């Protein structure tokens, strides 16, 4: 059994207004050493396979079709 | 003239849309998302506003896999007229029937108010009753209305006159409520049979309720 951890975030160059708001909040709490904040989402999938190669292919397809909107988002997949 | 209106779990503007088109003399039918087909005599297919699937994952992301969407794509590819309003616009971009994507408003707030819009290109059936540069007063009500498209896509929109409406002030000067690229409020596809916009023309049908500027917009579809 593999677990896929998918991180979806806005592409570099696409303004992340939630990240900006969190950055602003951190500033006002005096955490002044933060240069940039990006907010994304994590999707955790429990997979019914032990084949890493196959799992990776599958999850990539899921990302392209639904988990991410590749017009504005990037995704990263980790299998454990 | 027959207008078919899609209904997903969470759609909430289907009856307003129905009322608007019926008041203009069209017959209407509401089509549940599980239907594999759309009514054969459909002249215009509307993807109504709301919160399909609770906006889970991304607005419109799950609706695009509803059974009816295959029929919608076929209808659109054959030249059928499709209009997506608000969440319907989000569904159509997610489904790849319109270019770009809608992301969270820059101010992070849900915005619900009347807003003036400037007509950018009227060489299409949707806006042919208006002139370029006209300003219309139409309500907006969205959280994810921040239109994004990359530079290459934006040049294409310009080259093909696909930008329908932009957010403006009452004099037609750009005024951006949500961070949209070039204040874009609505676009169409290259073939000019699929239209999408965040504002709600179906909510601007009676002057006593704030504006009847929606009439001219929706009428374009009925006479074409």
Q: What is the CATH number of the domain that holds B201?
A: 3.40.50.880
Q: What is the mean pLDDT of residues B9-30?
A: 97
Please tell me the total count of domains within chain A.
1
Minimal Cβ distance to B58: which of A14, A17, A69: A69
Q: How far is A43 from chain B (nearest CA, A)?
A: 10
Torsion-angle region of B92 (φ positive above 0: left; ψ -120 to 50: alpha; else: beta): alpha
Say if the Cβ atoms of A71 and B104 lie within 8 Å. no
Strand partners, A8: A41, A75
pLDDT tens for residues B53-74? Answer: 999 999 999 999 999 999 999 9
Say if the Cβ atoms of B104 and A18 lie within 8 Å. yes
Q: How far is B14 from chain A (nearest CA, A)?
A: 25
A-interface mutation test, from B59, B101, B181, B182, most A Cβ less than 10 A away: B101
Q: Which of residues 2-41 of A touch B (CB under 8 A)?
A: 10, 14-15, 17-18, 21
Counting residues of chain B whose pLDDT is more than 70, the rounded percentage is 100
Minimal Cβ distance to B108: which of A17, A66, A67: A17
DSSP conformation class of B101: E
Q: How far apart are CA B50 and CA B7, in angstroms?
A: 9
Residue from B221, B220, B219 nearest B23 by CA = B219
Is the CB of residue B187 less than 8 Å away from at least one CB of chain A?
Answer: no
Range of the domain at B15: 2-223
pLDDT tens for residues B119-162? Answer: 999 999 999 999 999 999 999 999 999 999 999 999 999 999 99
Joined together, the tokens standing for residue B220 give 């374009």
Q: How far apart are CA B202 and CA B6, in angstroms?
A: 15
Joined together, the tokens standing for residue A5 give 């951890």
Kindly report whether the global pTM for this prediction surpasses the value 0.80.
Answer: yes
Q: What is the mean pLDDT of residues B79-95?
A: 98
CA B223 to chain centroid = 18
Residue A48 has pLDDT above 80, yes or no: yes
Are A8 and A67 in contact by the 8 Å Cβ rule? The answer is yes
List Cβ neighbours of A33 (8 Å cut-off, separation of 6 or more): none
Given this model, what pLDDT does residue B159 score? Answer: 98
B107 contact residues in A (CB cutoff 8 A): 17
Given this model, what pLDDT does residue B223 score? Answer: 78
Range of the domain at A36: 2-79
List Cβ neighbours of B4 (8 Å cut-off, separation of 6 or more): B28, B29, B30, B31, B38, B39, B42, B44, B45, B46
Residue B195 has pLDDT above 70, yes or no: yes
Is the CB of residue A51 less than 8 Å away from at least one CB of chain B?
Answer: no
Joined together, the tokens standing for residue B65 give 């896999």
Q: How far is A60 from chain B (nearest CA, A)?
A: 17
ipTM entry: 0.85
Please tell me the total count of domains within chain B.
1
Minimal Cβ distance to A72: which of B57, B103, B107: B103
Residue B44 pLDDT level (bands cut at 50, 70, 90): very high
CATH of the domain at A11: 3.30.1280.10
Residue B224 has pLDDT above 70, yes or no: no
Residue B103 pLDDT level (bands cut at 50, 70, 90): very high
Given this model, what pLDDT does residue B7 score? Answer: 98
Report the number of secondary-structure helices (H) and strands (E) in chain B: 5, 11
Active-site option among B13, B14, B33, B86? B86
pLDDT tens for residues B88-99? Answer: 999 999 999 999
Q: What are the Cα distances from residue B110, in Å, to B59, B77, B192?
A: 13, 33, 30
């Amino acid at each position: 059994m593999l677990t896929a951890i998918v991180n979806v975030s806005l592409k570099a160059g696409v303004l992340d207004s939630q990240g900006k708001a969190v950055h602003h909040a951190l500033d006002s709490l005096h955490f002044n050493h933060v240069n940039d904040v990006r907010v994304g989402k994590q999707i955790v999938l429990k997979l019914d396979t032990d084949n890493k190669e196959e799992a990776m292919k599958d999850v990539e397809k899921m990302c392209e079709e639904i988990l991410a909107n590749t017009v504005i988002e990037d995704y990263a997949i980790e299998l454990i | 003239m027959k207008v078919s209106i899609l209904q997903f779990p969470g759609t909430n503007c289907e009856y307003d849309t129905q009322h608007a088109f019926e008041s203009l003399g069209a017959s209407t039918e509401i089509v549940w998302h599980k239907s594999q087909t759309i009514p054969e005599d459909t002249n215009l297919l509307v993807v109504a506003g709301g919160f399909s699937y609770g906006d889970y994952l991304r607005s419109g992301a799950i609706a695009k896999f509803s059974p009816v969407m295959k029929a919608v794509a076929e209808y659109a590819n054959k030249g059928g007229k499709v209009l997506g309003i608000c969440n319907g616009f989000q569904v159509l971009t997610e489904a790849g029937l319109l270019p770009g994507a809608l992301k969270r408003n820059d101010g992070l707030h849900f915005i619900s108010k009347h807003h003036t819009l400037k007509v950018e290109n009227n060489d299409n059936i949707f806006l042919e009753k208006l002139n370029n540069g006209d300003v219309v007063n139409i309500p907006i009500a969205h959280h994810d209305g921040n239109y994004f498209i990359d530079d290459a896509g934006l040049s294409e929109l310009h080259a093909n006159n696909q930008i329908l409406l932009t957010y403006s002030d009452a004099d037609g000067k750009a005024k951006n409520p949500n961070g949209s690229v070039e204040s874009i409020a609505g676009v169409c596809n290259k073939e000019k049979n699929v239209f999408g916009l965040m504002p709600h023309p179906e909510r601007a049908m009676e002057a006593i309720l704030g504006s009847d500027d929606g009439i001219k917009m929706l009428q374009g579809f009925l006479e074409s």
